[in-house]
Amino acid sequence: MTTMRSPYDDLPPQAFWRTAIVRQKPEALAHLYHPKFDLTANTAIMTAGSCFAQHIHRSLSTAGWHVLQHESRADIMPLKLAKQYGYDVYSARYGNIYTARQLLQLLTEALNDTPTAPLIWQKDGRYYDALRPSIEPEGFASRDSVIHARQEHLRAVRALLQQTECIVFTLGLTECWIDSATGRALPTAPGTVAGDYDSSQTHFHNFTHSEVLADLRAARDLLKSHGLAHRFLLTVSPVPLTATATGNHIGTASTYSKSVLRGVCGELDQTDPDFSYFPSYEIITTAVAGGPHFAKNMRSPTPEGVDAVLGIFAMSHATDTATTPPSVPVPPTDDTAATEEDDLICEEALLEAFSK
């Protein structure tokens, strides 16, 4: 009798759906992500990406990872208010970066010695930086202020890049609006936050696999050309598209986008030593880690899902930083925070006035 051999015979539990998913064996979960390069609590991390990257930034920062923070909020700014103005949401105030093209643009601008003319939108007499329109909800009073703020921002991003060792980038979309005159990718369509849609000035583009791949490699090459040997830890946002401009159903359009992005990450993970993929997309959207982890609106990840992402991340990097006490921002100072000297002076004044 001949013994049949199969290439699946000796595979570990995580290779099989039944043992890895149905039985949810912890040892299988540990194999969900194989880091290609070491990350320690001291690795300088820059976060960027689409909305889901905000969870990553907050979770990693709170858990004690060395997440860089430029253009950080001052202690006088209440955290909630500061976030409305783009502070401490990512490693700098660039707002959401949904596409690989946007990331490439930002790095190019930040590392360029010659400032690029900003794209400026208007709304109700106010002026907005079209490449990050949400960071100033009321806009600026003048175009000069937009230009000044953008130059300051690009200086901050440049300084950030000089410190960064690993960019954790969360890809969100393939669909994008392009400024026709300059070819620049916009984070949102004009007319959404500010600006006014004019089909002769802005056109729609849905990036392909090869375009996203090329943009990410170009971003890496650009950094290397400036002596910055960053590694990229890629993730794909599990949050479905809010709307599509393709003319297709939102469901198929969303699947296209996520498939392209996930495919690009897979290819880079397999073929390029500078890129690694972390499966937050799978953790949230599938059953691999007890999910899917979506709230009732079927778009927003649940806190448990986000915790699972960070837990698996920490476990895979064999670090105990997940248990490190959170680095809570210092609460804003106010007039009640008196020093002892203030107290003494106050008492003295009262005694003087009320002495009977």
Partner 1 sequence: MTTRVALIGNSHASALGAAAARLDAAYPDLDFSHFALPRHGFQRAHMDDHGVLHADTDNRRDEAFIIKLNGSASIDLTPFDHIVVAGIGFNRRTLFAATEAYDILDLTLTGKEHTISLAHLQTLIDSRVRGNLLRTLEILGEDARITLLQAPYETEQILTVPDQLLEAARHPDAQYLMDMFETLIKGAIADSPYQVVTPPHALLAAPFLTKAQYNRAADIDAAQGRGKADFTHMNSDYGFEIFKAFAHQQLNLAPQVSCDKREV
- The residue ranges that bind partner 1 (CB under 8 A) are 71, 74-78, 81, 85, 136-142, 145, 148-149, 152, 332-336, 338, 342-343, 345-354
Name the nearest CA neighbour of 50 among 97, 90, 87.
97
Name the nearest CA neighbour of 28 among 6, 7, 11, 5.
11
Residue 7 C-beta: closest distance to partner 1, Å? 59
Helix residue spans in the chain (DSSP H): 17, 26-29, 52-62, 79-84, 100-111, 143-163, 209-225, 250-271, 280-285, 303-316, 340-354
| CA 122 – CA 180 distance, rounded (Å) | 17
- The amino acid at residue 107 is L
- CB nearer to partner 1: pick between 101 and 132: 132
Q: State the Cα torsion 134-137-142-148 to the nearest 10°.
A: -50
CB atoms within 10 A of CB 347: 10
- CB nearer to partner 1: pick between 142 and 201: 142
DSSP 145: H
Residue 138 C-beta: closest distance to partner 1, Å? 4
- CB nearer to partner 1: pick between 21 and 147: 147
Residue 334 C-beta: closest distance to partner 1, Å? 5
- CB nearer to partner 1: pick between 73 and 293: 73
- CB nearer to partner 1: pick between 140 and 294: 140
Query: Strand ranges (DSSP E) for 77-208?
Result: 120-123, 126-129, 166-171, 175-179, 184-186, 202-206
Residue 349 C-beta: closest distance to partner 1, Å? 4
Residue 176 C-beta: closest distance to partner 1, Å? 27
Phi first, then psi: give them for residue 167, nearest 5 degrees.
-100, 115
- CB nearer to partner 1: pick between 298 and 353: 353
DSSP string, 305-320: HHHHHHHHHHHHTT-S
Residue 93 C-beta: closest distance to partner 1, Å? 11
- CB nearer to partner 1: pick between 81 and 181: 81
Residue 292: asked if its preceding bond is cis (omega within 30°), the reply is yes
| CA 29 – CA 289 distance, rounded (Å) | 7
Residue 157 C-beta: closest distance to partner 1, Å? 14
